[in-house]
Structure 1
Amino acid sequence: MARILIAEDEEAVRAFVRRALEIDGHVVKEARDGAEALEILEIEKGAFDLLLTDIRMPLMDGIALALAAAPQFPDLVILLMTGYADQRERAHGLDALIHDVVTKPFSLADIRAKAAEALAAGPKRPA
């Protein structure tokens, strides 16, 4: 069982992902945007195993969140989500910080498998 923080501005997607991850016994906390997710990470001193964040969000997007969170919480595994091809390209340069980018739409099985894979791989370590 892992502690997972989801940062997603669309409530329906956030609830879907939460349910998917809770099926596997994970403890899931939610944030509506990157700024709220970073605040949660700081309050809880990075006590999460996985950060699953949408790229495109208001206030602070997922890429800015990953760039802020990775140096502060080096043991945090980061998995990005997006439904936009141009956003996936923006994430390409973050290979040293993130595990992968999950393309939306995804199925319940897809997101469960991607989260399990990311957790099994562990955090990225800068070379």
Structure 2
Amino acid sequence: MNSAVITEATCVLVVDDDDDFRALACMALEVRGHQVEDASSAADALALLGERGEEFMLVITDHRMPEMTGRQLRDTLATSNPDLAVCVWSAFPDLGDDAVVKGMDSLERILDAVEGPTKR
């Protein structure tokens, strides 16, 4: 994820195959004033970004998803949308990738990184 803190409302794409967690993440972002779209798979995310990619400033994606992992999505987007910030999260702290935000509090830490810790 790029290091700039986002200070204005932003259109964020949340990608997660878990419906409940995806809804929770979307709600947390919307409450903070962000426009949010969601996708239940990396394939759906890529299709949405293919149609409306210029609208998004950030993609937050789960790592463990069927068919394409969050890291694979990040790598694909690094080529197709190099200016798009992508954050990969996982509830599994043993994932072993320093570029992945890990643990059950990962959403809170992502929001702090995106908005700055004083926004909330």
| Range of TM-score over shorter length | 0.7 to 0.9
8 A contact 2:15–2:38 mirrored in 1:
yes
In the other structure, the counterpart of 2:113 is 114
Counterpart among 49, 72, 78 of residue 80 in structure 2: 72
Q: Deviations over 1:61-90 (max 9, x none)?
A: 101100111121122111111022343x2x
Gap runs ≥5 in structure 1:
93-99, 118-127
Counterpart among 56, 60, 70 of residue 62 in structure 1: 70
Partners of 1:107 and 1:59 in 2: CA distance: 23
1:107–1:86 distance in 2 versus 1, CA, 3 Å: closer
CA-based RMSD: 1.9
1:107–1:23 distance in 2 versus 1, CA, 3 Å: farther
Which amino acid counterpart does residue 116 of structure 1 have in structure 2? E
- Equivalent positions of 1:15-26 (< 5 A) are 15-26=23-34
Verify: 1:7 aligned to 2:15, yes or no. yes
- The normalised TM-score by structure 2 is 0.79
Sequence identity (%): 32
Report the CA distance between 1:107 and its aligned residue. 7.2
Q: Deviations over 1:38-76 (max 9, x none)?
A: 111111134210000001101211011001111211221
1:60–1:108 distance in 2 versus 1, CA, 3 Å: closer
- The normalised TM-score by structure 1 is 0.75
Aligned residue for 1:57, secondary structure, equals: coil
Gap runs ≥5 in structure 2:
1-8
Q: How many residues align?
A: 108
- After the TM superposition, which segments of 4 or more aligned residues of structure 1 sit over 6 Å from their partners? none
In the other structure, the counterpart of 2:102 is 103
